[in-house]
Structure 1
Amino acid sequence: MPLFLLFIMWIHVLRVTQPKVNPPRGLAVGAFLMMVVFSLIKPAVSHLPADLGVVPGVLNLDWYYMLFYPLFDKWGAGPLWGVAIGGSFIVGVMPWLPPLRRAKAAIVVLDKCNGCTRCYEDCPFGAIRMEPRSDGKPFEQEAVVNPSACTSCGICVGACPMSMPFRHGELVTAIDLPDLPLDRVRKLTQDAMESSAKEAEEEKDRVVVFSCSNGAGLKPIKNEKGVSGVSLPCIGMLPPSFIDYVLSSGEVDGVVLTGCRECGCYQRFGNRWMRERLEGKRDPYLRKRVPTERIKVVWASTVEGKMLADEVADFRESLRCMDKNPEEGA
């Protein structure tokens, strides 16, 4: 049984990068102490040692190993074999069932790729590999996406150094999502900036919210005047340069970043990579000229919408107390 469980665990982490199989120390110690207490309160007991000269009168059922024996007594062998064969058949054909509709995998724009490996290093599912250059350009490597392993989280887009919204014309980055290209994200950001500027009651608390679609989302703040948002597959898709782009425009006073609950990122590393980029610990990092006091980070799950709304309200209140506009502090 332990070897079988180890095999299942290996399959479970086969297609993810940097898997964590050991629990945090606090959780491990707590679970161990809990099991010790339970074993003292209600210990697991066995029958007496086997004696071939005695016919036991009572046999207690081991529910772990003999879970189906009561069904065998009630139904008989035939129906139980039918359930076993039917269940095995269903499990066996599942890999050949038509796949669910899923977003298109990320694509590489080779003309823009310089083989920097950032997308490869940040991908949480090992869907990107680096291969020798195939177009003759003076770079050693190029990024290649495995569509079957890609979850279309967009973290690779946020990691790409070519994802700069300050460019004129169409924004083309080295790796992009077909269903939500970065040029479209920039347009949505511009619309959000204009909406916040028009609806705000005063020019001190205009806010743009960048939200992960798997967290609390934009619903909790959709009716707030002066607050507009952009929804992304993962907060890790947002390049830090977009924060600079918004705050340096002069149309917005603050930026809110919200994603899944801490330690519960749907795409595994979105929260972590974003936090490290903001702290200057991971490329592409936030430029030092950006006033960090005008950035609010809120990790909120799908059931914490009220908490997100309260945090945004508190952040706007703090913006009203600031003297400088973001463009003046840049």
Structure 2
Amino acid sequence: MTIHLEDRGQAAKAAGGPVLTVKNLSVVYETEHPVTAVHNANFELGRGEILGLAGESGCGKTTLAYAINRLHQPPARISSGQVTFHDRDGSDVNLLQLEDEALRRFRWSKLSMVFQGAMNALNPVRTIGGQLEDTLRAHDSSLRKPARQARCAEVLTRVGVDPGRLRSYPHELSGGMRQRVMIAMAMLLEPQVMIMDEPTTALDVVVQRDILREVVRLKEELDFAVIFITHDLPLLLEISDRIAVMLRGEIVELEQAETLYSSAKHPYTRKLLASFPSLSGDRGAFIRSGDHNNFEEQP
């Protein structure tokens, strides 16, 4: 799959500054033997930027995303750090200090999330339109039903779904269409940041390509930033401006996508890049040693 992005990364630079700053963020699971799932995560997300977050299953990607959005549940606990949202109006919001009601208003209107396994997150006994309207009603009770319906039809159209599907139930849609509906739901209140947690994992490559093209197009049209989480590093190389690589709860490398591909510095990143076979050329011989902490290349 190839998605050509012109002037990759220039939108974020031209906007002049970050929309989100994560500083020294750590998350601990308070079990019998406490586990630090995220350790001192640091990064900035530029306006209009797609930041890829890669790493193997269990490395802390989703935990980091939940912590940023304050969606983590016990036994998870943010043990240290700051998450600062830089609004378009020039104000800064410390997400870790927001009280319950302020946090509820902030979510979806400023920062939204497409969850892992989102295709199965829709309520099977309610129509698509009803579920989209619920999101609008929860955040703006002043909107009348005709205005809510018009907004729902508008966002479905933006993600390439016929507005007539507002009357459909989830089981009447294909997997790709359900995923588009979830992206539409995340867009309803025009957030400035969208976190997408492996949104294309369960899709075939053709539908995956279409979804990714829609994400890139919508990002350009609506000027929101994206944190795109996946274990699929080649996919991130296609769509991301920058890529952060996580290993055992730490961001071990953060670099421009092209630079990461051509000259990755961390041995684990090089292993990830080498783990995907080429369609041409000699087969590589990268063998992980018996020591899980050893990611040195083997001859």
TM bracket, shorter-chain basis: under 0.3
Higher fraction of strand: 2
Q: Which has the larger radius of gyration?
A: 1
What's the TM-score, normalizing by structure 1? Answer: 0.23
